[in-house]
Structure formats: C-alpha cells, structure tokens
C-alpha cells in the first residue's frame, strides 16, 4: 500500500529537520505519553485493561550494532485497523491543513512548533530514518507489525506472536548522517530539553562500569615461593576465607531520566520544602540547595504558575561584560543631574538603572538600619547646608514665587531652591511617594495596563517640584530681571524653556512636543535675527515654465483663416 503524500510532507519538514533534527524524538515520546494516557483513562472504567501489565512506562534503547533506535511504551497499543487508520492513511484533514499552513510561512521555528499540532509528528521519523517499523499490541487484537520506507507500507501479523504484553515499539533504522542519535549523551540532552516533565516514567538503556569482586583462580591463590635450597615451596594459606580480586565490569540497565516532577503545577501549600530542594537539584544538577525560592500562581486575563529559584553561587559568566563599559558608566554618572552635589562632596551613590530596581527598592526601604533615599525624589537633606540653604531660600523667594505662582502654575506643584545641583540650572523632582521619570517611563510602556486605571492616573497627575540651582548664571540673571521688574514675555519664554529642558533632563516625558519644537524655533529666530512673522518662500509655480509663446500678427493670421478674410474686407 502506498503513502503518496509522504514525499511532499518530507519536503515540507526538511527545513525543520536540518535545523532541529531532534524533533522526531520529541514527537515519538509525546505519542507514547498520549497512548499511556489513553490506557490510564480506559482503566478507570475497565479494570481489566491493565491485566496484561500494570506497568506504565516509556523505554528508549539505542542499538549501535544494527544502527537502530527503539522507543517502547506500555500504552493502549493499536489494532490492525488502528495501524491502517492512524499510520497508513496519511491524507487526513490534519495533514492537509498542515501542508496548507506551511505554504504560508517560511519560518523554521514556526514549522518546528506546529509539527505536533496537526497530527503529523510521527512522520518526522522519516527525517532521520529510511525505514520505520512499528510493532503494536492492543488488548483486543493480536500483535502486528507496520513497516514503511516512506513511499509504501505493509502490515503483517507478528510471526513472533505476542512479544509485547501491551503497547507499541517504534524502531527506526537511522540514516548515516543521523547516527549521532544513537549516542547516550545526545539522547539525554533531547530528553532533558523536551520530555523531562512528562507524566510517566521514562527510561534509557544505559551502560555503567563498576568494580566487582571475583574469586581468584587456583594458580593465583597459591603463589610459588623459592626456598634457600632452591626447592620450590607452596605457601599455605593461613586464612581459610576465599580469595577475591576486583575486576571492572560493564553492565547495562534501565536508568530513569525524569525523576523531577512538575511541582510548579501544584498549589504552594501542597509542596514540601524537601520537594523544592530535590526538584532544584534535579533541574540544575547543583549539589547545593537554592539560596531562595518563590512559588506563586497569578490569576487574571492570563493565568500562569511560576517557580523561581536563586542559586547559592552566581553563574560563572554572569559578569562577563563587567569592566568593559566603564567609560560609559563614568560618563553617565558625571552627567546625572540629581547626583551632582553628592558626587562633588564625595558621597557614594548607588546607580540602580535596571527596570526592576525601583520596584525592589520601594519595597525595601532600608538596609542594615540605613534608609534608602532616591536622589530623584524630594527629601534629600544635607546637614552641613542648613544655614546656607535658609539664606538662599530667602534670597530667591521672588523668583520661586514668580515661577511657581505665575509662569509655571499649571505645570509644577512648587518651585524650590535645590541643594543637589551644581552645574545644571534646574531639575524636576518627584514627590516622596510619586513616580520618578524612570518609573513613569516603565509604567507607560507596559502594553497590558488599563488606559483608565485610577491608580496610574493618580501617580501620573501628581505635581512635581522644580528645583533651581541658585549658583547658576541663568538663574541669577532671571532673579535680577524679576527683582527689577523687567521680566517681559521673553523672560517668560526663557523660564518655560528651562522648565521643559529640565523635564527631559530629569527623565520625564514632555506632554506637548509640538509646542516645544515651536518654542525652539522661536528662540532660534530671535537669536539669529530672523523676523518671527517671516514665512518660508513658496516654490516656483510649475505653470510658469509653460508660459504661452508670443505669436506675431503674421503668424496669427496665417493660422486663423477667418481672421484673414476679415482683414481683406
């Protein structure tokens, strides 16, 4: 009997086979697990279903001598009719849908992921094998052998009768370029990657070398000994215990590959600490237990279960880039406005720039008795500046009042003299419980947040504080203009420009970027002496190039007979 769609299917699967040849084993193990699920469900209503064998396992054996790989399960098995229907009739809707879907995409990863979704996973065996043999025994039928070379197949009753109590064995005659799948290390890696957490025990036929005690031969038990007279004497054993020697022997046995169970699927209250540690060691092959762990279930629009571990020892390549970006880090530190004064006075500053850092520190207010202070928020105090700050606040009160109550009353909550700036004219500081520019950027970039979330609107609409640098020349000049009463509209524009630049420099986002760009253009016009109302030149009209040519009277008369007759009259 023929399998006509197989060549077309193999051509479709070929890119995935070259990229990830191990998918065939993933699919065969998945099929075996499905067969075991079926017999387990059947046994719930029919207790005799497991009479042939109570064992529910998957076993994989590599036969290097014959270049064959065997995958055996004790699942429900297949009757002769099942073999024809499930393996012999490939032109089913699932295969047709798969071929149609693959015609729409050229992505190898998508192809790999979709192989198991359309019921064509078994046929991925032909990626690594020219000949596939399926031996199957169902409780309701005899044992049959299905064999195919991808172009045709045959089904015969097994002449060996029932070698399987129940279940299926898939035997692959591997191609020369697929001999690597007979190596135990390769099989272990694939099993760990794809099938480590299946619901049934999975065994691999492995060899191990061990030291065993064997009795000594008679000639080894009684070594000869020469006497002084040259006669050979035999040394008699003083101990009657049998003599043995250690010999290295290679033995083969089934070794379980999936000891670790998917404990993250359970409720945290149902898992003991010993199970967490055992699972961690099996997963990571670490002899030590984890430093910490968290197990939680999140329910919402998307429900997921998570089990996170922190190892006791950091990975060896964790800081592989450490020290290679020192110049960039130094440049960032030097230009960060909120830390200018602290760095100048020699204070140590923690630069926590990762997205998760601000979340973590907000829930960890202190460390070893020392409170954390975010330099981008209110509340930063320097004791040695107390007297000086009081004097500066009094001196700059006219400017802070003019900015806060007049020019920027709709933009900021208040304007204050800064004790953290040295070279920057001003900076925008968040309230003690508000969002910094970094936090605001993180929250607004999250795609799954609700647009009308009241808590988000509350934090975003909190008024910030504009801190001015009393030692900066721009601020000093602005104070002079305010005190003299000569702060005109240009001064107001400059004040608004300082505010907008402080928004950007402090990490916040401008609400009206179009107006900001227009303000920049206005300043450039004033600086370069370009009139504010001067408009760009218009492009020359295209019609000007096609103006009508002047025509002489003679030409006009010659071209218009009616006019010529009129002249004669």
Task: Please indicate if the annotation marks 122 as binding a ligand.
Answer: yes
Task: Please indicate if the annotation marks 27 as binding a ligand.
Answer: yes
Cα torsion 322, 328, 331, 336: sign: negative
The partner residues of 416 in beta bridges, in order of sequence, read 467
> Which DSSP helix (H) or strand (E) runs through 215?
strand 201-215
β 465-468/143-148 pair status: unpaired
The partner residues of 377 in beta bridges, in order of sequence, read 430
Task: Please indicate if the annotation marks 119 as binding a ligand.
Answer: yes
Between CA 541 and CA 418 the distance in angstroms is 57
Angle at 355 between CA 350 and CA 359, to 5 degrees: 75
Task: Please indicate if the annotation marks 279 as binding a ligand.
Answer: no
Q: 3-state class of 473 per DSSP?
A: helix
The partner residues of 252 in beta bridges, in order of sequence, read 207
Task: Please indicate if the annotation marks 116 as binding a ligand.
Answer: no
Angle at 224 between CA 219 and CA 225, to 5 degrees: 165
Task: Please indicate if the annotation marks 93 as binding a ligand.
Answer: yes
282: exposed, middle or buried (C-beta count within 10 Å: 0-12, 13-18, 19+)? middle
Report which DSSP code applies to 415.
E
What are the structure tokens assigned to 145, written together? 């052998």
Number of Cβ within 10 Å of residue 395's Cβ equals: 13
Task: Please indicate if the annotation marks 114 as binding a ligand.
Answer: no
Q: Using only C-alpha atoms, what is the Rg of the chain?
A: 42
Task: Please indicate if the annotation marks 78 as binding a ligand.
Answer: yes
CA distances from 552 to 549, 555, 557, 558 (A): 10, 5, 9, 10
Q: 3-state class of 514 per DSSP?
A: helix
Task: Please indicate if the annotation marks 73 as binding a ligand.
Answer: yes
Place of tokens 């760990």: 192
Q: Given phi > 0 = left and psi -120 to 50 = alpha, else beta, which region is 432? A: alpha
Between CA 32 and CA 37 the distance in angstroms is 9
What are the structure tokens assigned to 223, written together? 């070594």
Place of tokens 């499930």: 86
Contacts of 403 (CB under 8 A, 6+ apart): 412, 415, 466, 468, 495
Task: Please indicate if the annotation marks 117 as binding a ligand.
Answer: yes
Task: Please indicate if the annotation marks 265 as binding a ligand.
Answer: no
Residues flagged as binding site for ATP: 27, 31, 73, 78, 86, 92-94, 117-122, 168
Query: Which residue numbers belong to the known binding site?
Result: 27, 31, 73, 78, 86, 92-94, 117-122, 168
């Amino acid at each position: 009997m023929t399998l006509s769609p197989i060549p077309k299917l193999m051509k479709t699967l070929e890119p995935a086979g070259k990229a990830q040849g191990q998918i065939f084993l993933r699919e065969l193990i998945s099929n075996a697990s499905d067969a075991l699920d079926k017999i387990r469900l059947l046994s719930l209503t029919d207790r005799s279903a497991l009479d042939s064998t109570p064992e529910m396992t998957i076993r994989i054996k590599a036969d290097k001598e014959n270049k064959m790989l065997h995958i055996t399960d004790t699942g429900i098995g297949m009757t002769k009719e099942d073999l024809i229907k499930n393996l012999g009739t490939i032109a089913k809707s699932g295969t047709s849908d798969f071929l149609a879907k693959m015609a729409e995409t050229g992505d190898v990863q998508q192809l790999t992921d979709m192989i198991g979704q359309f019921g064509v996973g078994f046929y991925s065996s032909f990626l690594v094998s020219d000949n596939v043999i399926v031996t199957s025994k169902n409780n309701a039928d005899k044992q049959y052998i299905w064999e195919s070379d991808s172009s045709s197949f045959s089904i015969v009753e097994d002449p060996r009768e029932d070698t399987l109590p129940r279940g299926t064995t898939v035997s692959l005659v591997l191609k020369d370029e697929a001999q690597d799948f007979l190596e135990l290390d390769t099989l272990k890696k694939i099993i760990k990657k794809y099938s480590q957490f299946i619901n049934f025990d999975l065994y691999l036929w492995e060899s191990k070398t061990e030291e065993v005690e064997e009795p000594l031969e008679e000639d080894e038990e009684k070594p000869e000994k020469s006497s002084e007279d040259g006669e050979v004497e035999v040394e008699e054993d003083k101990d009657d215990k049998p003599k043995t020697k250690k010999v290295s022997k290679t033995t083969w046995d089934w070794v379980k590959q999936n000891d670790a169970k998917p404990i993250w699927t359970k409720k945290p209250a149902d898992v003991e600490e010993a199970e967490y540690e055992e699972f961690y060691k099996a997963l990571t092959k670490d002899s030590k237990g984890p430093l910490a762990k968290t197990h939680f279930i999140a329910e919402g629009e998307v429900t997921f279960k998570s089990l996170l571990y922190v190892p006791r020892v950091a990975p060896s390549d964790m800081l592989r880039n450490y020290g290679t970006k020192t110049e960039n880090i130094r440049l960032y530190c030097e230009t960060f406005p909120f830390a200018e004064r602290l760095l100048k006075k020699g204070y140590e500053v923690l630069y926590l720039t990762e997205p998760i850092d601000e979340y973590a520190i907000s829930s960890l207010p202190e460390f070893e008795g020392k409170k954390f202070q975010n330099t981008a928020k209110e509340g930063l105090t320097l004791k040695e500046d107390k007297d000086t700050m009081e004097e500066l606040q009094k001196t700059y009160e006219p400017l802070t009042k003019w900015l806060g109550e007049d020019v920027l009353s709709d933009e900021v909550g208040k304007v204050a003299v800064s004790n953290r700036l040295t070279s920057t004219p001003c900076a925008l500081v968040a309230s003690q419980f508000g969002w910094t520019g970094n936090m605001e950027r993180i929250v607004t970039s999250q795609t799954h947040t609700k647009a009308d979330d009241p808590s988000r609107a509350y934090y975003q609409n909190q008024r910030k504080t504009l801190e001015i640098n009393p030692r900066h020349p721009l601020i000093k000049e602005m104070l002079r203009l305010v005190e003299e009463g000569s702060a005109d509209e240009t001064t107001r524009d400059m004040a608004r420009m300082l505010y907008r630049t402080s928004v950007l420099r402090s990490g916040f986002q401008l609400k009206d970027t179009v107006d900001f760009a227009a303000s920049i253009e206005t300043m450039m016009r004033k600086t370069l002496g370009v009139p504010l109302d001067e408009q760009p030149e218009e492009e020359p009209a295209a019609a000007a190039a096609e103006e009508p040519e002047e025509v002489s009277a003679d030409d006009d008369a010659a071209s218009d007979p009616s006019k010529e007759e009129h002249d004669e009259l």
